[in-house]
Amino acid sequence: MLVEVVQTQTRDVLDVSGLVRRYGELTAVDGVSFHIRSGETYGLLGPNGAGKTTIISMVAGLIPAHGGTVRVAGRAMTPSKTEAKRIIGLVPQELAIYPDLTARENLKFFGRLQGLRGRELTRRTNEVLELIGLNDRAGDLTKKYSGGMKRRLNIGIGLLHRPTLLILDEPTVGVDPQSRNAILESVERLSVEGMAVLYTTHYMEEAERLCDRIAIIDEGRVQAEGTRDELITLTGGVDRINLRGGGSMSRAAEALRGLPAVQHVDNDGAGLILTVSDGPTALAGIVTGAGHAGMSVTSVEIVRPDLESVFLHLTGKALRD
Amino acid sequence: MSAIVAIATVELRRFLRDKSNLFFVFIFPLMLILLLGSQFGAGSGQPRVTIAGPGSTLTQALTAELESAGVDVTASGEDAARADLRRGRTDVGMFLDDADAAAFHAGRPAELAVVMASQSSAQAVLQQVRTAVQAVGLDRSQLAALTGAGIPEEQARPALDQAAAQVAAPTVQIVDTGDVVQEFRGLGKFDLGASQQLLLFVFLSSLTGAATLIQARRFGVVGRVMSAPVSSGQVVAGQALGRFAIAFVQGGFIMVGTALLFGVDWGNLWLSALVLVLFCAVSAAAAMMVGSVMDNDTAAAGVGVGAGLVLAGLGGCMVPPEFFPETLAAVSFATPHRWAYEALSAIQRHDGTLGDVLPELGVLAGMAAALLVLGAGLLRRSLNRAL
Amino acid sequence: MPGLWTMVAKDLRQRIRDKSVFIFSLIVPLALMGVLSLVFGGLGEDTVDLQPATVVASADDADQLGAALLGAVDSLEIMDVTIKRVPAADVRHETQASGADLGIIIPEGFSNAVLSGQAASVQLVEGDNASLESGVLISVVQGVVDQFAAGTVTAAAGGLSGLPRQDLAALARHAAAGPSLLTLTEGQAAAEQLSLRGTLVAGQAGLFLMFTVGFGVLGLLAEREQGTLARLRSMPVTGAAVITAKACTGFILGVVATTVLLTAGSQLFGVSFGSPLVVAALILSVVTAATSLTFVVARLVRTAEQANVAQSILAVVLGIAGGAFFPVQGTGFAATLLDLNPIGAFNRGLGISAGGGNVGDVTGPVAVMLAFAAAGLLLARILPDRGAQA
């Protein structure tokens, strides 16, 4: 049987609205709403413990929500809705494979549960084995695999039935740089093929590289949502320029404060830190001005705003501990 | 030395902290000793007869006669008695009715229905019933003989009572019972079971503890310890000492617990404790062997349970070895259990001294040493093997 | 239920690949059956028939009553007895050396002592192995001596009552050996119990069944620890299907293991359990009961390790109470409790079927096992979940 692919021109692939989940007194997820369109890669960015995995668990129908709704391709998703589950593919954060079965046996088992049968099952199993580069070792018990190989299989199982929505929960945690890059590349490729992806991470670089839109999650709430550039404008879009050197720094600071692009100058004794509206354009004038005022500049650094700064700006906390 | 003790202490602490061990190591053996004592202790093997029928002088006479022969007599309904017979809960059932009672009362002949259960012991009990019935009938025959000779009944009865008091009737005297029976005479209700279960559980728990050793190897704990400035010999000694400490804690608990709770007499406590120490050493060394040879902890637990029970059975911890056929009795000396059993029974039953049990202690020490050397070698080799 | 058989097939494949199930379900119980049958072998035969016995005896041939006593022993209908005459001093030694069942020492002048009402004692030496036959023989001797005593007492009573001396001997004979007033009609009960070896085979099969079915439902805990339970939940299969699959796995393993154990056990130890149809009904019932119990365990525990311990405790408690190692007897409430134990009911059912019972005869034990299964399922629904299925 072919997996039913629900094309949604008018509807979103995923529509999450007002999601709430409590654990006793603690409200782990507090009114989270977002939606994902077909072919879009959507990131949930937040530190560990922000509630990302709880959101994903409700989206994938692992646990019931205490409030709000999840609709996958227009169908309500709850733990008992098997129809909605046909459309999604989940890659849990922790490994979820049988160590005492081979890669091929793992794939075939989960493929069957997803409704694949016969030749279709064999074909998809082979395709996925090819994709995750485990063709040579497909007949080995997975407990003999390296960590990276297990991770790849873990992801491959989620792709087997060509889900309309692929949910990846921190797929690169604890993965070596090489495997990590391979994982990111395959997510990009899937996105190009039109698969909608929900991607959680606490790595800013991954969210920036992969995601069309990003929701910044903290304390169970969406703190901000948008494309990378939209989020960055939230910080006011200012750059920071660090000038290092010697000489007459206080005179230089005075002089630079007079420049139109410079909003703020700070003298920390070892150099000057400037807040500038458009760093690259203003740079030449700043270096020249500092020199004229008697400062000998030895190094210059422009720091452009990133999601890290956005997170810091929104929550007052660093993304990573 | 401190490294060895540190390793052993960690092992003992891990063991005691795991609450799941508490039941099997401490509670279960005592429960089993209690159960065995109540099932097999004093009074076990007592013949059981169930009498179904209306209460009458016949019933009373039979009950009194059977009980004086040491039979456990129960009065019961007919259906219940038949069910008990089928299920072997009684050896012989007697089914009496009003006609039997009336005939007996009147001194007329009566035929009594008896039914024997299907277990082999029922035959001997049936014979006791025959003897008892005959004895009850004899009272009547005596009276009948006298009345037949022209003496009125009211005169014959007191004459019989008086005669019974005056003459010395012949008796049967069992002057010498078999060795086996003698061996267990004077043993407390729980004494035998306690020493058997002590050996069974100390060895069994040690062997199943081999799974912990495999886990320690798998989690890399053993490897990490080896990376510290500790020699492989010290690691092996520490593991062995840890297993030994666990076994001794359990064994000591069973000895003290049974002595306090069930009044088990362990004889000379120092000597019994010495036997326990050597037996624990054998157990610990055997656990090291299993833990080193096997790599799968679930399978090792299975092997531990299996080998622990099989060796205990062969070593006389389920059925006393005194009951073993000859070959089996010979085979049983290949198990450490049998040697420890012999030593404990010498101490418990015959007030054996150190000199008496020296051969047994020597064999146990030899077994411990041999297994320890072998187990240590295997463990050292296993550390080089990937899991 | 979609996905059910896919999951069962996967579980079975995993269990077969893992050697633990073979060790726990087949090898260990078979080994134990072997050892137990060896060690219990010395405790008696599996038959009710009495074996021929040897008696070592000393008696003066001229002694009338002594000869009568030995004659009574020699001519027993219920067993074949060989009497070996030796001097009184050698009886004890000879009894032990020759492995005889009983030694009888009849004192010199026994008849005279008995007839004149003087103390006389027949001494018995029990054989070394305290056999069943010794017990029977002792009882027989006791019976004969009782008769002599009755005669003596009657004669004395006759004397006291003023009967002439010359009539007393006849009176004694009449009292002792006259037609008995009470006679016995003996029957044997229908056997509804297993032989000793049968009990061992059935008991071990029942004991280890609890471990075997545990490999099913408790596999849920392994799924959780491997993270695969979360993945299963994200798939188009219901939670009920996941749990049912585990129960089916346990059930199949249990039925196969118990069948193999009973078959192998009956072949190896020469035990017959009766009609295969009845045995099959009993196996299905006991496996159902055991499987339902694993649902209760799965509710109570949090980790696979706790599950193993809980499972083992239940297995040994139910197994031992069900008679896996030795028959356990109880009275009153304890007896009722023992009757409600599914392993006990299984053994009882096998006893009935071994005795030739048909399916109708085992409805009692089957009902107990199925009621136990229903109670287990109900309990599992009521109990709060402590984690295994969350």
Q: Are C122 and C141 in contact (CB under 8 A)?
A: yes
CATH 3.40.1710.10 residue ranges of chain B are: 48-167
In the predicted structure, residue C43 carries a pLDDT above the cut 70:
no
Instruction: Give the pLDDT band of residue A104 (cuts 50, 70, 90).
Output: very high
Give the pLDDT confidence score for residue A7 in this predicted structure: 46
Average pLDDT estimate for B249-275:
89
Taking only the tens place, the pLDDT of each residue in B109-165 is 888 888 888 777 788 888 888 888 888 888 778 888 888 878 888 888 888 888 888
Which of A8-12, A37-41, B379-383, C109-113 is the least confident region? A8-12
Highest average pLDDT, of C19-28, C118-127, C365-374, comes from C365-374
In the predicted structure, residue A321 carries a pLDDT above the cut 80:
no
CATH-assigned architecture of domain A1-87+163-232: 3-Layer(aba) Sandwich (3.40)
Instruction: Judge: A82–C2 Cβ closer than 8 Å, yes or no.
Output: yes
Average pLDDT estimate for A59-85:
89
CATH says B48-167 is which class?
A: alpha beta
Give the pLDDT confidence score for residue C261 in this predicted structure: 94
In the predicted structure, residue A1 carries a pLDDT above the cut 60:
no
In the predicted structure, residue C185 carries a pLDDT above the cut 90:
no
Residue with more model confidence, A239 or C303: A239
In the predicted structure, residue A107 carries a pLDDT above the cut 60:
yes
Average pLDDT estimate for C201-206:
88
Taking only the tens place, the pLDDT of each residue in C83-104 is 888 888 888 888 877 778 888 8
Instruction: Judge: B309–C32 Cβ closer than 8 Å, yes or no.
Output: yes
Instruction: Give the pLDDT band of residue B184 (cuts 50, 70, 90).
Output: low
In angstroms, the CA B209 to CA B198 distance is: 16
- Phi, psi of C49, deg, nearest 5: -70, 135
Instruction: Judge: A98–C233 Cβ closer than 8 Å, yes or no.
Output: no
Strand segments (E) across chain A: 14-23, 26-36, 41-45, 67-72, 75-76, 88-91, 165-169, 196-201, 213-218, 221-226, 239-247, 262-267, 271-276, 295-303
3-state DSSP assignment of residue C292: helix
Instruction: Give the pLDDT band of residue A10 (cuts 50, 70, 90).
Output: very low
Give the residue extent of every domain in chain A: 1-87+163-232, 100-160, 239-304
Contacts of B88 in chain C (CB under 8 A): 192-193, 327
Distance from CA of C280 to the nearest CA of B (A): 21
Averaged confidence pLDDT in chain C: 83
Give the pLDDT confidence score for residue C386 in this predicted structure: 59
Give the whole-number percent of chain C exceeding pLDDT 70: 92
Instruction: Give the pLDDT band of residue C136 (cuts 50, 70, 90).
Output: confident
Give the pLDDT confidence score for residue A15 in this predicted structure: 93
Chains that touch B (3 or more CB pairs under 8 A): C
Q: Identity (one letter) of the amino acid at B73? A: V
- Phi, psi of C84, deg, nearest 5: -115, 120
Distance from CA of C230 to the nearest CA of A (A): 7
Which of A219-223, B380-384, C252-256 is the least confident region? B380-384
Give the pLDDT confidence score for residue B303 in this predicted structure: 84
Average pLDDT estimate for B3-12:
81
Instruction: Give the pLDDT band of residue B183 (cuts 50, 70, 90).
Output: low
Instruction: Judge: B306–C32 Cβ closer than 8 Å, yes or no.
Output: yes
Give the residue extent of every domain in chain C: 4-44+194-382, 53-177
Give the pLDDT confidence score for residue C41 in this predicted structure: 65
Q: Identity (one letter) of the amino acid at B348? A: Q
| Nearest residue of C to residue A160, measured between CA atoms | C235
Q: Among C41, C188, C308, whose Cβ lies nearest the Cβ of B115?
A: C188
> Choosing among C181, C188, C350, which should be mutated to test the B contact, i.e. which has the most B CBs within 10 A?
C181
For chain C, counts of helices (H) and of strands (E): 17, 5
Instruction: Judge: A85–C235 Cβ closer than 8 Å, yes or no.
Output: yes
Instruction: Give the pLDDT band of residue C288 (cuts 50, 70, 90).
Output: very high
Q: Among A57, A96, A113, whose Cβ lies nearest the Cβ of C226?
A: A96
Instruction: Give the pLDDT band of residue C390 (cuts 50, 70, 90).
Output: very low
Give the pLDDT confidence score for residue A8 in this predicted structure: 42
Instruction: Give the pLDDT band of residue A4 (cuts 50, 70, 90).
Output: very low
In the predicted structure, residue B382 carries a pLDDT above the cut 80:
no
Q: Are B270 and B165 in contact (CB under 8 A)?
A: no
In the predicted structure, residue B87 carries a pLDDT above the cut 90:
no
Instruction: Judge: A85–C10 Cβ closer than 8 Å, yes or no.
Output: no
Instruction: Give the pLDDT band of residue B40 (cuts 50, 70, 90).
Output: low
Q: How many CB pairs under 8 A join A and C?
A: 75
In angstroms, the CA A299 to CA B25 distance is: 71
Which fold is adopted by the domain A239-304? Alpha-Beta Plaits (3.30.70)
Q: Do chains A and B touch (3 or more CB pairs under 8 A)?
A: no
Taking only the tens place, the pLDDT of each residue in B344-356 is 988 888 888 888 8
Pairing state between β B110-116 and C182-188: parallel
Nearest to A301 by CA among A242, A252, A245: A242
In angstroms, the CA A172 to CA B144 distance is: 105
In the predicted structure, residue B93 carries a pLDDT above the cut 80:
yes
Region at C340 (left for phi over 0; alpha for psi -120 to 50; beta for the rest) = alpha
Residue with more model confidence, B295 or B359: B359
Give the whole-number percent of chain A exceeding pLDDT 70: 95
Q: Are A89 and A160 in contact (CB under 8 A)?
A: yes
Between the alpha carbon of residue C30 and those of residues A124, B100, C287, the distances in Å are 45, 51, 18
Distance from CA of A187 to the nearest CA of C (A): 19
pTM reported for the whole predicted model: 0.78
In the predicted structure, residue C50 carries a pLDDT above the cut 90:
no
Distance from CA of A151 to the nearest CA of C (A): 13
In the predicted structure, residue A126 carries a pLDDT above the cut 90:
yes
In angstroms, the CA B310 to CA C33 distance is: 9
Residues in chain C, total = 390
State the SS3 of A230-287: HHHHCCCCCEEEEEEEEECHHHHHHHHHCCCCEEEEEECCCEEEEEECCHHHHHHHHH
Contacts of B164 in chain C (CB under 8 A): 153, 157
Residue with more model confidence, A201 or B17: A201
Contacts of A174 in chain C (CB under 8 A): none
What spatial distance separates the first Cα and last Cα of chain C, rounded to whole Å?
21
In the predicted structure, residue B41 carries a pLDDT above the cut 60:
no
What H or E segment, with its residue span, contains residue B258?
helix B232-262
* Tokens describing residue B54: 């209306």
Instruction: Give the pLDDT band of residue C287 (cuts 50, 70, 90).
Output: very high
Helix axes B232-262, B354-382, angle to 10 degrees: 140
* Tokens describing residue A105: 């046996």
Residue with more model confidence, A67 or B30: A67
* Tokens describing residue A169: 């929960």
Distance from CA of A110 to the nearest CA of C (A): 8
Residue with more model confidence, C157 or C323: C157
Averaged confidence pLDDT in chain B: 82
Give the pLDDT confidence score for residue C130 in this predicted structure: 61
Give the pLDDT confidence score for residue A19 in this predicted structure: 94
Q: Among C113, C175, C190, whose Cβ lies nearest the Cβ of B142?
A: C175
Give the pLDDT confidence score for residue C388 in this predicted structure: 45
Residues in chain A, total = 321
In this structure, whether the domain defined by C53-177 belongs to CATH 3.30.1360.30 is answered with no
Average pLDDT estimate for A281-294:
86
Taking only the tens place, the pLDDT of each residue in A188-201 is 888 888 899 999 99
DSSP A186-212: HHHHHHHTT-EEEEEES-HHHHHHH-S
Could you tell me the strand order of the sheet in which C81-85 lies?
Answer: B171-176, C121-126, C102-105, C53-58, C81-85
Instruction: Give the position of tokens 């090489």.
Output: A178
ipTM of the shown complex: 0.76
Contacts of A62 in chain C (CB under 8 A): 230, 233-234
- Phi, psi of B41, deg, nearest 5: -65, -150
